[in-house]
Structure 1
Amino acid sequence: MGKLRQVASLAASMAALLASSVMAVAQVPAKSVVLVHGAFADGSSWHKVIPELERAGLKVIAVQNALQSLENDVATTGRAIRDAEGPVVLVGHSYGGIVITEAGNDPKVKSLVYVAAYAPDSGEAQSNIASRYPQLESRAEYIRDEEGFLRISDVGIAKYFAADLPPAEQRLVAAVQGRLHSRALATPVVRAAWRDKPTFMAVAVKDAIIPPQLQKDQVERSRATSIEVQSSHVAMLSFPAKISELIIRAAK
């Protein structure tokens, strides 16, 4: 009986030590941030946020996704996570929120940040989410080519996509926008990482691309820590300090 008590005591001690180690890892502040741009954008959309994150001591990788398929963009983002020093905060804007919802299942990812972004549940595609809300008038400015790629007209960029930016910045956004293939919007997420990891969301109150109510409903569904910014769709360009603060909070 004495030996049994010793074995039981040793097992209990080892279990306590393991639990303590797991908790310690969970409490380690993030080392890196991986930024995932949305449709009609590229990695330069984070250029105002990157310096703020670096000043906070975080290493930053801005992904350059091809926007040809969700699977490919998740794989590209996964390579960036692999190359980053962990733990990682994974951030997505707009369509990039769909990408991080899948790519965020990587064990190196500590937390997720959605910036005026879609946050689908497991088995959901962007088209499923959008169908529940009235179509915005900005859709009239979407241009689809014969291969199925979408872009937004210069008028649409100025009037809807980046309405609160100065004209010079609007022209820059229009010039660097990426073309999104429509199939990416119909591809469902397999497993929603926000169900298992700390999640933060920035709701763009003046968004004319993704309905603000949709964003607010996602906050409630995911029980995310959230902020609201009086921003157009490109909150990281019009309110970079507030978005940076949210990402830094997620890193801690």
Structure 2
Amino acid sequence: MPTPTAVLVHGAFADAASWSGVIAALRAEDIPVLAPPNPLRGLAADAAYIASVAAQTDGPVVLVGHSYGGAVITVAGAAENVVGLVYVAAYVPDEGESLGELQGRYPLAPLASNLREWSYPTEAGTATEFTIETGAFPQVFAADVPADTTKILALSQRPLAASAFTEKAAIAAWRTKPSWAVIADADQAINLDVQRFGATRANARPTELPGASHAVAVSRPKEVAGVIAEAVRTTG
């Protein structure tokens, strides 16, 4: 069986460049890797796009999702050639569950009170999207990332459509495919208990990183890559 390709799916308020350190670490271990853009326009549409990327990738795929990307891979992971899932400081919804419902089980993280609302044009008129307030971004998203890098991340955020919080997951691929989870225990964007609950419910193999912020793929790339490499080796 060929070595699975790690397909890295970023979440909200970030882009594929956030995986740079992880990509370097995986390539050093000769693990095939791809980091496509996540449209961030809604769960069904985003999952369909990532599933199409997986389906067009030669051989088996391990899908890796950060943050909201965890919800995306939960649905996109139903693609036939996906053999494993890795959740990185991520939401892990169940079939028929929205992110709002999952988050609603626990107190809100500081992220919720530091969002800025924008609008964008659609065929039907306009819709709502969110970014993190620039001044709050370092503490909420990337407290353990160097200040110069954090400033760039804050100014280059990609917004998330508001509909992503209310759309329900059409399927939960973790019910039939092996899963791993990197849990960031100093996360101020997704409640730590939300991460732990999702990982436990999915029977994911957990790795908890003390002091890690939500931007754990940026601040602790080798450790994140190590979990991904384990998933690739196990499923390959």
Q: TM-score, normalised by structure 1?
A: 0.86
Alignment of 1:48-127 (within 5 A): 48-127=21-100
Q: Indicate the residue corresponding to 1:24 in structure 2.
A: none
Q: Indicate the residue corresponding to 1:16 in structure 2.
A: none
Q: Indicate the residue corresponding to 1:5 in structure 2.
A: none
- SS of residue matched to 1:208: coil
Greater strand share, structure number:
2
Alignment of 1:63-212 (within 5 A): 63-146=36-119, 147-212=127-192
Greater radius of gyration (CA): 1
Aligned length in residues? 225
- SS of residue matched to 1:123: coil
Q: Is 123-132 or 140-149 further displaced after alignment?
A: 140-149
Report the AA paired with residue 160 of structure 1. V
The answer to whether the 8 Å contact 2:92/2:198 transfers is yes
Aligned equivalents of 1:138, 1:169: Cα separation in 2: 19
Deviation string for 1:185-240 (max 9, x for gaps)?
Answer: 11111110001001000010000010111111122211111100120001111111
The answer to whether the 8 Å contact 2:46/2:72 transfers is yes
Greater helix share, structure number:
1
The answer to whether the 8 Å contact 1:201/1:226 transfers is yes
The answer to whether the 8 Å contact 1:97/1:115 transfers is yes
- SS of residue matched to 1:206: coil
The structure 2 residue matched to 1:247, chosen from 221, 228, 231, is 228
The alpha-carbon distance between structure 1 residues 181 and 243, as it changes in their structure 2 partners (threshold 3 A), is same
CA displacement at 1:184 relative to structure 2: 1.1
Structure 1: gaps (5+ residues): 1-27
Alignment of 1:217-228 (within 5 A): 217-228=197-208
Deviation string for 1:5-53 (max 9, x for gaps)?
Answer: xxxxxxxxxxxxxxxxxxxxxxx46331111000111111101100111
Structure 2: gaps (5+ residues): 120-126
Aligned equivalents of 1:92, 1:218: Cα separation in 2: 13
Q: TM-score, normalised by structure 2?
A: 0.92
Aligned equivalents of 2:27, 2:221: Cα separation in 1: 13
- SS of residue matched to 1:52: helix
CA displacement at 1:138 relative to structure 2: 2.9
Q: Indicate the residue corresponding to 1:36 in structure 2.
A: 9
Aligned equivalents of 1:72, 1:221: Cα separation in 2: 25
- Give me the CA root mean square deviation: 1.2
CA displacement at 1:176 relative to structure 2: 2.0
Aligned equivalents of 1:136, 1:70: Cα separation in 2: 21
